[in-house]
Amino acid sequence: MLSRKGRGDKSGDSQVSFAGEKFRFSDWFAERFIKTVAFMSIAFVALIFIFVFREAFPVFRMDVKQKIGSVDLVQEKYGEEEVTPATANPVSGSAIKVSKPSSTLLSNIWMPVSDNPRYGLIPLFFGTLKVTIIALLFAAPIAILAAIYTSMFAKPWIREIIKPAIELLAGFPSVVIGFFALMVLATVFQDIFGYASRLNSFVGGFAMSLAAIPVIYTITEDALTAVPKTYIEASLGLGASRRQTAFNVVLPAAVPGIFAAVILGLGRIFGETMIALMATGNAALTSINPFESVRTLSATIGAEMAEVVFGDTHYSVLFLIGSLLFIFTFALNAISEFYFKNLVIRKYQSKK
Amino acid sequence: MENLKVRAKNLSLFYGDNPALKNISLDIPEKRVSALIGPSGCGKSTFLRTLNRMNDLIDNVRIEGEVLVDGINIYDRNIDVVNLRKKIGMIFQKSNPFAKSVYDNIAFGPRINGITKKSQLDEIVEYSLRQAAIWDEVKGRLHNSALSLSGGQQQRLCIARTLAVNPEIILMDEPASALDPISTSKIEELIHELKQKYTIVIVTHNMQQAARTSDYTAFFYIGELVEVNRTEIIFSNPSKKQTEDYISGRFG
Amino acid sequence: MNRNRKDIIIESLTGISVLLIIFIIISILAITIKGGWPNLSWKFLIEFPKDGMTKGGIFPAIVGTALMTLIMTIAAVPFGVITAVYLAEYAKENSVFAKTIRFAVKTLAVVPSIIFGLFGLGFFIGFIGQNMDKIFNGGVLKWGQPSILWASLTMALLTLPVVIVSVEEAIRTIPVEMREASLALGATKWQTIRRVVLPGSLTGILTGTILAISRGAGEVAPILFTGAAYYLSDLPHSLSDQFMSLGYHIYIMSTQSSNVDATLPIQFATTLVLLLLTFSLNAIAVILRYRIRKKAK
């Protein structure tokens, strides 16, 4: 045996005293540093809020100035001024410039680049809504049914294939899906339905559903597997078939979770940019025909932001659209987070 | 007269509002083995974990009363829990070596205490492994993963790892419950060796083990300390009926 | 009986839905491979575009994408790992602060990617960049315009939740016994995290990094106006240069080019390269994640 003496090390010092708290700088610092970094996530969200809204704000201030200032007629004269940079202070320039942005916001025409620019958001909202509905009509049933199959009917080895496959679909860049829609789907659908404009809300909506399916599928699948086993066993024990159990017991219990899934899928579609840019045709029309082109809110930002002048009206209106998109997805997230999650938890807890 | 290393005084512990330990007063003599026995759920493990404040990790735990270690109440406000745990080592029911080499497992404690010199670490590793009676089995594979050892070896490795920090008290929470009889007897032999230098508190639900290894035995039942005495007295002539019922196997 | 039949129909619909999804995945892969493979060559990968982007390769787009994701990773991974450590190790489940952070991370995950582009433009370029120019550059335009740095940081913000979620999941699979072992040896909380928790989460950190790279390499919307360029005759040399990216290249070539049909082979081949890149990264991540989950059981 080695002798205990002669080690002469710190840990050999059995006089370690625990009376009196010892200050350890690395622990103190680590905790504060980690907390600070974690806090940055909140700060980022706040910064996104602030900076997207800040750039949108001049839309309204320009308007106020303009009302005090002059009438719309000057527009023709100063139309050229639209393209000169107004970086320093857009407000001062707008008093005479008179593009009356916010009074045209509710108009039916989106024509930002013209001598008489009009920033009517109605067709953009309409287009977004139309595409979203089409996409959701595809994505929600397919994703939910596929999730039901995976969690309730599939054999384990099939499940081991489906789940990673859908994860891989989630990993397809939207520009690839957009390209696929543009090159392949548009032609295929045109052959089938024989419509006139090759790119339209139907093609775009279908392509977007491919982006939303993994979102809806994953959350629905989670909700279905979260249904307590005791429910299923009780139902099977009473002589119900697997199918009856799936549709009469598991599905109703998972409804709040499925709602949350659809809501998040909705958010995904609503904000999708690249697919909209590439597959919807980008014409700001307000026809209810699904085979007509539309221009969505996000695609408008994507298509036009690179060409606008920093700080001018068009720039601000695009940020305003961004703000609206942000508010909308933020609200959807908040709803799915607080409302549905609580509902799911409460439901299971009360019955356990 | 024994020198009392740890003294619990009127110790109660609550999970939320539910009492898990009720007014326990128990003295633990120095360099002896004290066994805590009782049916599962009786609070013996919970009590053990109050001795090195491992219950701090659980939310919603409230403690009343005091635990004196060398005369200092470890629940006082300005106690340094980190140093306390260096003084009071713990062996868990399920052996829990890190997913590192045998060597790095043993060196973990010394390293966090700032020892980096290789020769010094080598010495501590060998010394600790020898003390835990596992040196001969692992000396050829110090740099293999600790997870490649057998269950019994892993548990003795954990004991060696604790010894490397040079504690004064070792708490053992059913250290052999997951092991086969041969490994168990090795652990028991080891406990016998270790009590020369360390104060040992062992939780077990194996009464033969308590009888074989311990000098003192405390019987817990539903959060209360029913009886404590020299082990031979508890097992031959218990003063409480509950104790007698338990050790004679009538419940639990 | 009638009801039973309805159930049978719905059950078969569930199976059909799965088949439909698989069919679409395979179609996308097959068509991209069929269209892109013939034009995919070593030369295509290492050449610059030629003749007004109607010929040549995609070398600058590959390098641009790689550099952008590299800078993005350097920014996003440390941030994400530390936030995950906070959520898994320090946060008390019911504290308002922790809940707010979770909500913020979730929000970052669902905000449309185009909004990140707007933020990058308004914050990084318009605010930080322009002020940097004012202060350090005497008002000469250098940082206050789109560049690979701002695009990468914008992308880092977008991929932050990806890292956080993966790493937190991995940290949570480390058994509590490991933490107890460390603490019982007298390690402090930080020592436990640094020596036990983080080494045990390396696979998770790697998974999160790969997923973030895959996501960042494929996203186009955030870089549309924060740094991606249509065509550059040279590779980016400094953080304030613009860059070409694979995704943006696909978008531009398929929608903005004057002769879309002539460049079709280039478009398909570029799409194939991007798809292979993200697909293989994702496949690695999926495998790693399944391994972590298996180990946790």
C280 part of a folded domain: yes
Return the percentage of chain B with pLDDT > 90, whole number. 83
> pLDDT-based confidence at A347, cuts 50/70/90?
low
> Is A332 at the interface with chain C, CB within 8 A?
yes
C130 part of a folded domain: yes
Average pLDDT, chain B: 92
Q: How far apart are CA A204 and CA A189, in angstroms?
A: 11
User: Nearest chain B Cα to C194, which residue?
Assistant: B112
Residue of A150, A162, A301 lying closest to C114 (CB–CB)? A301
The answer to whether residue B56 scores a pLDDT higher than 90 is no
* Residue numbers in B near C181 (CB within 8 A): 92, 96-98, 158, 161
Q: Are A236 and A245 in contact (CB under 8 A)?
A: yes
Distance from chain centroid for Cα B228: 17
Distance from chain centroid for Cα A33: 31
> pLDDT-based confidence at A83, cuts 50/70/90?
very low
The stretch B193-213 carries a mean pLDDT of 93
Q: Which of B188, B179, B250, B200 is nearest to B221 (CA)?
A: B250
How do residues A54-73 score in pLDDT, each as one tens digit?
988 888 776 544 444 433 43
The stretch B139-146 carries a mean pLDDT of 94
What pLDDT is stored for residue B188 in this prediction?
94
What pLDDT is stored for residue A101 in this prediction?
64
C74 part of a folded domain: yes
* Residue numbers in C near B89 (CB within 8 A): 184-185
What pLDDT is stored for residue B174 in this prediction?
93
CATH architecture for the domain at B4-247: 3-Layer(aba) Sandwich (3.40)
Pairing of strands B224-230, B4-15: unpaired
Other Cβ atoms within 10 Å of A32 Cβ, number: 10
Domain range spanning residue C145?
Answer: 40-296
Q: How far apart are CA B76 and CA B56, in angstroms?
A: 13
DSSP secondary structure of C148-179: HHHHHHHHHHHHHHHHHHHHHHHHHTS-HHHH
Highest mean pLDDT among A168-172, B167-171, C261-265: B167-171
Tell me how many degrees the CA angle B151-B231-B30 measures, rounded to the nearest 5. 80
Q: How far apart are CA C34 and CA C275, in angstroms?
A: 13
C198 part of a folded domain: yes
Phi, psi at residue B88, to the nearest 5°? -120, 100
The answer to whether residue B10 scores a pLDDT higher than 60 is yes
The answer to whether residue A96 scores a pLDDT higher than 70 is no
Residue that is written with structure tokens 């205990």 in the block: A4
Of A142-146, A237-241, B180-184, C189-193, the poorest mean pLDDT is in A237-241
What pLDDT is stored for residue C209 in this prediction?
96
What pLDDT is stored for residue C24 in this prediction?
95
Tell me the nearest-neighbour CA distance from C51 into chain A, angstroms.
23
Radius of gyration over alpha carbons of chain C, in Å? 23
The answer to whether residue A285 scores a pLDDT higher than 60 is yes
Residue of A14, A18, A24 lying closest to B166 (CB–CB)? A14
Q: How far apart are CA A179 and CA A92, in angstroms?
A: 43
The stretch B214-239 carries a mean pLDDT of 93
What pLDDT is stored for residue C291 in this prediction?
85
The answer to whether residue A352 scores a pLDDT higher than 70 is no
- Residue B202, classed as helix, strand or coil, is strand
- Higher-confidence residue of A93 and A35: namely A35
- Higher-confidence residue of A3 and A269: namely A269
Tell me whether residues A9 and B164 touch, CB distance under 8 A: no
Q: How far apart are CA A118 and CA A115, in angstroms?
A: 9
CB pairs under 8 A between A and C: 259
> Is A12 at the interface with chain B, CB within 8 A?
yes
Per-residue DSSP letter, B145: B
- Domain tally for chain C? 1
Phi, psi at residue A94, to the nearest 5°? -75, -15
CB pairs under 8 A between B and C: 63
Tell me the nearest-neighbour CA distance from B87 into chain A, angstroms.
7
Other Cβ atoms within 10 Å of B180 Cβ, number: 11
Phi, psi at residue B21, to the nearest 5°? -130, 135
C31 part of a folded domain: no
What pLDDT is stored for residue C102 in this prediction?
92
Residue of B54, B100, B113 lying closest to C184 (CB–CB)? B54
Residue that is written with structure tokens 């953009």 in the block: A124
In CATH terms, is domain A122-351 a member of 3.40.50.2000? no
CB within 8 Å of chain A, chain C residues 59-98: 79, 82-83, 85-87, 90-91, 97
C8 part of a folded domain: no
What pLDDT is stored for residue C116 in this prediction?
96
What pLDDT is stored for residue C261 in this prediction?
81
What pLDDT is stored for residue B172 in this prediction?
96
Exposed/middle/buried for residue A297 (C-beta within 10 Å: 0-12, 13-18, 19+): buried
Phi, psi at residue A82, to the nearest 5°? -50, -35
Helices C264-296 and A156-170: angle between axes, nearest 10 degrees: 130
Give the pLDDT of chain C (297 residues) as one tens digit per residue: 566 777 788 889 999 999 999 999 999 999 999 999 998 999 999 989 887 777 888 999 999 999 999 999 999 999 999 999 999 999 988 889 999 999 999 999 999 999 999 999 999 999 999 999 999 988 888 899 999 999 999 999 999 999 999 999 999 999 999 999 999 999 999 999 999 999 999 999 999 999 999 999 999 999 999 999 888 888 999 999 999 999 999 999 999 877 778 889 999 999 999 999 999 999 999 889 888 888 776
CATH number at residue C292: 1.10.3720.10
The answer to whether residue A306 scores a pLDDT higher than 90 is no
The stretch A22-30 carries a mean pLDDT of 92
Q: Are A268 and A210 in contact (CB under 8 A)?
A: no
The answer to whether residue A105 scores a pLDDT higher than 90 is no
What pLDDT is stored for residue A346 in this prediction?
53
Q: Going by C-beta distance under 8 Å and a sequence separation of 6 or more, which residues neighbour residue A219?
A: A257, A258, A260, A261, A264
Tell me the nearest-neighbour CA distance from C53 into chain A, angstroms.
18
Tell me the nearest-neighbour CA distance from B105 into chain A, angstroms.
15
Tell me whether residues A165 and C25 touch, CB distance under 8 A: yes
Give Cα separations from C205 to B94, C169, C197, C271 (angstroms): 27, 10, 11, 28
What pLDDT is stored for residue C2 in this prediction?
61
The answer to whether residue A345 scores a pLDDT higher than 90 is no
Per-residue DSSP letter, A23: P
User: Nearest chain B Cα to C89, which residue?
Assistant: B57
Pairing of strands C49-50, C55-56: antiparallel
How do residues B78-112 score in pLDDT, each as one tens digit?
899 999 999 999 999 999 999 999 999 999 999 99
